[in-house]
Amino acid sequence: MEKVLASVKKVVSANQFVRINKKALSLFCQEFFINQNKLPPWDNYHHFFDGGIDTVAYLLVLDSLNFCFWPSGNNAKWEFEYNSKKTSGYNAMAIALKRAIQSKNKIIHPEYLATLSMDQLKETLGPCGNLQLMEQRVRALNDLGRLLIERYRGKPHLLVEAANNSAMTLVGLLADQLVSFQDIAIYDNQHVFFLKRAQIFVSDLFGAFNGKKWGFFDDISQLTAFADYKLPQVLRQIDILEYNKILSEKVDKKILLEPGSPEEVEIRANTIWAVELIRRELNGMGKKLMAIEIDWLLWNLGQDNKYRIKPYHRTLTCFY
């Protein structure tokens, strides 16, 4: 996505707190190429999938809630129990919504979403632990429900079809029409476009439908990495991202970074640009991968404890 890459490149060129270690990046690419890492298959255990329009609706609701899974202070982290096993984070959200659909909950119905209450959402997500930004989650689903009713006849798949198989158009439709998807920061008086959750919704459609039906996009390769808090944690652990002393201390001590602060914007911008550099280097080595595929691989690395030794940065935001 050109405007994302162009805007984050400007941030990278003016870095104060973060830098990309290109030597470490090259070493990672060489090891990556030698190991021939395979792309993970779409995760049908955690995700709902029926091959039809309910899957489109499910992914849209899931990615409307796909943010801020870390606990605040001494609060217990939020978990969801499924098949006698507790899961946390994004996978817990995916399973909670899947379980809701299987239980005939109306969580994917726009009419229900438009008037969804806090108590109803809490009941859907279960009693184990605490999720932050619950008011924003309810508001995001209310806004989504109203939009689908008013503009798309209450049918989420019509929103996807309105993009005419263009990933970029669908990202734009979400960002233009829903406040919670307007993931744009200001750095040095210039707009920086991240659009994380809008892009990840398109990517999820592509993954779930294996690039077919509602997952077919002519320009899927234009999506960038998804700037969240897990990817920079991995990239920092493998020395591709380096923070200066001030930022390192804040992140390591789990001090909150303000949304839109220079430190936070630089972490996210350098994450996207580092993945783009990895993509280019691998491409030059004959291993052609899209940025979103590299993102998937890095995110999966981040589920391994050896890539979690250094903490992730903490920013209280609905954008990731």
In contact, 231 and 275? CB cutoff 8 Å: yes
Taking the C-alpha atoms of residue 267 and residue 247, their distance in angstroms, rounded to an integer, is: 10
- Marked catalytic residue, from 63, 228, 239, 304: 228
Residue 8 is encoded by which pair of tokens?
């984050």
Residue 220 is encoded by which pair of tokens?
């899927």
Taking the C-alpha atoms of residue 27 and residue 35, their distance in angstroms, rounded to an integer, is: 12
228 is catalytic: yes
- CA-nearest of 202, 215, 205, 144 to 171 is 202
- CA-nearest of 192, 146, 147 to 319 is 192
In contact, 170 and 179? CB cutoff 8 Å: no
The CA-atom distances, in angstroms, between 178 and each of 52, 138, 314 are 24, 13, 24
**Spacing of C-alpha 300 from chain mean position:** 13
Other CB atoms within 10 A of residue 257 CB = 22
Scan for tokens 């999966």, then name that residue: 300
Residues with active-site annotation? 228
